[in-house]
Amino acid sequence: MARKKGYIKTFSSLWTAHENLYCSLFYEALKLLEITDLAKNENAISEALCPIFNDLCFKHCRDVTPPMWEVPNQPSTNDELKGGKKSPKPDFSCNLINPFANGSDMYQIPFHIECKKLGEKVGSWNLNKNYVNNGINRFDSNKHEYGKKAISGLMVGYIVSMEPIAILEEVNGHLPEQLQKLTFVFVEKVVSCEQSIIRKEVNPKDFKLIHIWVNLKN
């Protein structure tokens, strides 16, 4: 999880280091996460990650800012102002200062993380469908603009019931045809995969969405 030392010469390499750093932080935090009440809503589960992030950064990488929980998208130009209306809030944001920016609009770029519960239906609420419709799809939505200006983002899935392979089949079944299917090998508490997306509504168009799922049933 340590930050890599040395001079980075391109934005691409700088972003890759930023992405790897925070994906590693989430991976380690999710391994430590223990939830006794799996009926908790996903916001309560995400909130429980905050002290874990703080502790990990304090112990292992003090120059790293812990992920910020439920911070609205920040306007960087006058064109992005919404008259005081609150912007959508991804579950976590990890901002990168871009020294290669040609303008102030690209000076601060957020790595966005959206978190959803996975498992059996709760009444009429389909958790696995929600992972797609109100999770993945927000990374290509003019309304939410998750991952705007960034070349990658992160989805976190909290498995609270149901077998993981059955969840995966359901999630893939709800994906739009043009989206790449997810593939996991469920051998550990925390697993990950990557998905390439060609976005229609949010720039940049070429986008990588990383998925990290944690089995909280164990």
**Six-digit token string for 146:** 């998750």
Closest-CA residue to 147 (of 83, 188, 205, 190): 205
Q: What is the pLDDT of residue 74?
A: 84
Closest-CA residue to 150 (of 190, 191, 192, 90): 90
Which range is least confidently modeled, 85-99, 127-141, 200-214?
85-99
Examine residue 77 and state whether it is found in any structural domain, yes or no. no
**Mean per-residue pLDDT over the chain, rounded:** 93
Q: What is the pLDDT of residue 97?
A: 94
List the alpha helices (DSSP H) in the chain.
11-32, 42-60, 127-133, 164-174
Q: Is 5 a residue whose pLDDT tops 70?
A: no
Examine residue 81 and state whether it is found in any structural domain, yes or no. no
Q: What is the pLDDT of residue 139?
A: 98
Parallel/antiparallel/unpaired status of strands 92-97 and 190-198 = unpaired
Query: Helices 11-32 and 42-60 meet at what angle, rounded to 10?
Result: 110
SS3 154: strand
Q: What is the pLDDT of residue 43?
A: 94
Q: What is the pLDDT of residue 80?
A: 78
Examine residue 200 and state whether it is found in any structural domain, yes or no. yes
Examine residue 5 and state whether it is found in any structural domain, yes or no. no
Q: What is the pLDDT of residue 163?
A: 97
Strand order in the sheet with 68-69: 68-69, 92-97, 108-118, 152-159, 206-215, 190-198
Examine residue 2 and state whether it is found in any structural domain, yes or no. no
Examine residue 155 and state whether it is found in any structural domain, yes or no. yes
Q: Which domain holds residue 58?
A: 11-70+87-215
Structural domain total, the chain: 1
pLDDT band at 9 (very low <50, low <70, confident <90, very high): confident
Tens digits of per-residue pLDDT, 163-197? 999 999 999 999 999 999 999 999 999 999 999 99
Examine residue 79 and state whether it is found in any structural domain, yes or no. no
Examine residue 4 and state whether it is found in any structural domain, yes or no. no
pLDDT band at 2 (very low <50, low <70, confident <90, very high): low
SS3 109: strand
Q: What is the pLDDT of residue 7?
A: 58
Q: Give the containing element (helix H, strand E) for 215.
A: strand 206-215
d(CA 167, CA 138): 20
